[in-house]
Structure 1
Amino acid sequence: MDTRETPLFELPEPTPDTTAFPFGHGLAAAVAGGYVAADWAEALAPVEGNMVSLARELERRRSSGERILPAPPDILRAFSRPLSEARVLIMGQDPYPTPGHSMGLSFSALPQVRPLPRSLKNIYLELHEDTGAPIPAHGDLSAWADQGVVLLNRVLTVGAGAAGSHRKLGWEAVTDAAMSALAARGGPLAAILWGKDAQALAPALGPIPIIASAHPSPLSARHGFFGSRPFTRANELLVAAGGAPIDWALPLAVPRA
């Protein structure tokens, strides 16, 4: 998501959410609850205090009536698969601000979301042109995450209807630590950076090879995103480094829970 994504329809009336933020009692509790992989918890240990403070601030905001997105169990979803299995990093900006859309993975939307966010539609168009993969009817990118694609937003929460509202809240220190951990771990690994905000993070990624292009937003997709072939280029980098390619084809439909 980026700040150019705005709610697609009138926001529904919020329902009270008292679910605890899974990082409020530290990373050991988040690992025990299945929210964070153990090796990611080790990598994020230097910013554990920041995360506990973030949980307190989010709770304060929620108590004041702000609706926090995504749902608390999904906030750390990008860290739920092992760091050791990471193969591609795709950086986003912040979660979709429309309630019921964001799911804790950058650019990914909950399976029931219709219509799809506009940036994601453009990602699917490029996916099809680049790889020939059919375009799914849903926006759930979990199948990529399951293969080691780290779908990480720069900022991991947002206020409903207010894109970019949690920038400078403190998440940047957490995602800085995540990028440092990826750089230290090394390859086979490739980073896909769409847009200037993501590309500004390139120095933090050290030796990781980078695929950079315009953002898939409707405002910029025709100025360098379309035709950039990020998916096949990422696979070429992985194979060249001795790794296995990603199967970028997504299930055409997500089974109902």
Structure 2
Amino acid sequence: MQPARIPPAWADLAFFREDWPSIRDRLVAPDWLPGPDRVFAALELTPPERVRVVLLGQDPYPTPGDANGLAFSVTPETALPRSLKNIYAEMRDDLGATPGNGDLSHWARQGVLLLNTSLSVLPGQAGVHAKWGWDRLARQAVRRAQAERPLAFILWGAHAQKALAGLPRPQDLVIESAHPSPLSARRGFFGSRPFSRVNDWLAAQGETPIDWALCETAPAA
């Protein structure tokens, strides 16, 4: 198995000196997900100078073949997970359109940092690596991106809100709601209209809005 490649644009984060070596050494199972070629996909696709929106997830999908290294995203051929179905239902109500599959690489390429607080998992064992120290990477990455411009934060659920607590600044946009999972989506996620709210804010900043519903099936670079 080839070792994971540290994204050059983020390589000077303290995480890669202080935390990554021990995490890397613990990733001994040959079937960990999403694998070394995809583990840093969110950072590869969205370097710090391009981050405009932060959308935080928890950990990769634990079903082999589903996760592609981006929060909430799956490979193009994978059926939509339940949370992503609800995300698309809200997008349809908000914008009138949705992507053609569950691959959100096109969001990442437009500046949406789709980062999980834990970047690895074992098949069938959701959250198994959640306490390995991965969460420090998320906070450091957000701080780095904040040095470039004001950011829009989409924080779905208590986990994301706690993970980035204290980081949003007055100049940032913060959209907090319930998580889109079937257990909580009707407690404030549906009707929150995060996509149009982010685009309205970006336009007010003089930025190009995100084309959320673009259908892009090419694999992430």
Q: State the TM-score, normalized to the length of structure 2.
A: 0.91
> How far is 1:20 from its partner?
2.5
Q: Does 1:87 align with 2:52?
A: yes
2:4 aligned partner: 22
Give CA-to-partner distance per residue, 1:15-56, whole Å, 9 cap, x none. xxxx23315xxxxxx3xxxxx1x33223x2454231122111
Counterpart CA distance in 2 for 1:49 and 1:256 is 31
Deviation for aligned residue 1:185:
2.8
- Kindly indicate whether the alpha-carbon contact (under 8 Å) linking 2:34 and 2:120 is maintained by their aligned counterparts in 1: yes
State the match for 1:199 in structure 2: 161
SS at match of 1:129: helix
Deviations, residues 90-135 of structure 1 (Å, cap 9, x unaligned): 1001111111111100000011112x10000000111111011145
Alignment CA distance shift 1:256-1:185 (3 Å): closer
Name the Cα RMSD after superposition: 1.9
Q: Structure 1 residues 186, 56: CA separation in 2 closer, same or farther (over 3 Å shift)?
A: same
> What displacement does 1:73 show?
0.5
Q: Residues 129-168 of structure 1 correspond to what in structure 2 (within 5 A)?
A: 129-136=93-100, 138-168=101-131
Partner of 1:57: 26
Report SS of the residue matched to 2:136. helix
- TM-score for the superposition, normalised by structure 1: 0.79
Q: Which amino acid aligns with 2:25?
A: R
Shift of 1:256: 8.8
Q: Deviations over 1:125-181 (max 9, x none)?
A: 111110111452x21001111111110101111111011111111211222211221
In structure 1, what residue type is equivalent to 2:18? Answer: G
Contact 2:56 2:115 in 1 (8 A): yes
User: Are residue 224 (structure 1) and residue 193 (structure 2) matched?
Assistant: no
Question: Deviation per CA, 1:168-205, whole angstroms, max 9, x where unpaired?
Answer: 11211222211221233332x20100001111123123
Identity %: 48
Following superposition, the deviation at residue 89 of structure 1 comes to 0.9
Spell out structure 1 runs of 4+ moving beyond 4 A: none
Whichever of the two has the greater Rg, that structure is 1
Contact 2:60 2:67 in 1 (8 A): yes
Gaps of 5+ in 1: 1-18, 24-29, 31-35
Question: 1: distance between equivalents of 2:145 and 2:131?
Answer: 22
**Equivalenced residues, count:** 217
User: In 1, distance between residues paired with 2:167 and 2:3?
Assistant: 28
Q: Output the amino acid matched with 2:157.
A: G
After TM superposition, give the deviation of residue 229 of structure 1 in Å: 0.3
